[in-house]
């Protein structure tokens, strides 16, 4: 049976939520010269592009959205690169091994769907030791809505899938998006509540039980 397993990145695969938030808010403040409300649940679209679109409305700025995105994105990526170069980016425990095992399975397709921008996502994944070669990565470069990003990570075609896609995420907006799309959701960490939850990826028996697969078999 063909299975598609999709991953968020920040807080799900890499320990980047906190420094990513600081880099993003500092970049926005530098460009817009205004306060940034970090109650992300209060925003409609919690993606880098979606947040900037809403921040333009909240601040009343007349800066064209394309100019805002370009300026914030350039500064943000610079800050992420500097952080990765100095401190490195740590994976969630067991994540690199788990993803690598999935990538070796013939009947499993792995993709990444992040609300962040592609350039910063690649910096974090590569710094944390993930092999992204051949994997579909959809990001805020592709769309401002999380559900559309997830659809694009799936490549918009579910005709070959027998099983419902499974999405690993760490936030309430991930859970909401999965409910809207009809994806199975696995919560990583404890930033929200969900019946199916893991602390990290070291318990392979639990992961096999959740996904209904044998990680030791090339199936």
Q: Tell me the pLDDT tens digit for each residue of 156-169.
A: 555 555 579 999 99
What's the predicted TM-score (pTM) here?
0.93
pLDDT of 133 reads 87
Q: What digits encode the pLDDT tens for the residues 112-139?
A: 999 999 999 999 999 999 999 888 999 9
The H or E element spanning position 19 is: helix 17-32
pLDDT of 165 reads 94
DSSP codes joined into one string, 36-89: ----GGGSS--SHHHHHHHHHHHHT--S-HHHHHHHHHHHHHHHHHHHHHHH--
What is the domain partition of the chain in residue ranges?
Answer: 3-15+90-211, 17-87
Q: pLDDT-based confidence at 70, cuts 50/70/90?
A: very high
pLDDT at 144 over 60: yes
Q: What digits encode the pLDDT tens for the residues 38-58?
A: 999 999 999 999 999 999 999
Q: How far is CA 65 from CA 62, 101, 141, in A?
A: 9, 40, 13
Summary mean pLDDT of the chain: 93
Q: What digits encode the pLDDT tens for the residues 164-203?
A: 999 999 999 999 999 999 999 999 999 999 999 999 999 9
Q: What CATH number has the domain spanning 3-15+90-211?
A: 3.40.50.1000
pLDDT of 163 reads 78
Q: How far is CA 126 from CA 116, 142, 171, 197, in A?
A: 15, 20, 22, 25
């Amino acid at each position: 049976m063909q299975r598609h397993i999709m991953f968020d990145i920040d807080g799900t695969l890499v320990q980047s939520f906190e420094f990513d938030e600081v880099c993003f808010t500092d970049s926005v403040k530098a460009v817009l010269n205004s306060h940034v409300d970090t109650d992300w649940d209060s925003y409609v679209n919690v993606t880098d592009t979606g947040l900037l679109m809403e921040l333009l409305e909240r601040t009343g700025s007349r800066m064209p959205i394309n100019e805002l995105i370009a300026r914030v994105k350039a500064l943000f990526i610079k800050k992420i690169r500097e952080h990765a170069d100095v401190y490195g980016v740590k994976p969630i425990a067991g994540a690199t091994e788990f993803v690598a095992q999935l990538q070796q399975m013939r009947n499993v397709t792995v993709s990444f769907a992040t609300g962040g921008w592609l350039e910063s996502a690649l910096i974090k994944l590569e710094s944390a030791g993930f092999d992204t070669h051949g994997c579909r990565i959809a990001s805020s470069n592709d769309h401002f809505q999380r559900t559309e990003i997830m659809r694009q990570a799936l490549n918009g075609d579910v005709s070959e899938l027998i099983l419902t896609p499974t999405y690993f995420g760490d936030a309430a907006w991930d859970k909401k998006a999965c409910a809207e799309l009809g994806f199975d959701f696995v919560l990583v960490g404890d930033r929200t509540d969900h019946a199916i939850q893991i602390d990290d990826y070291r318990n392979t028996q639990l992961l096999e039980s959740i996904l209904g697969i044998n990680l030791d078999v090339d199936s």
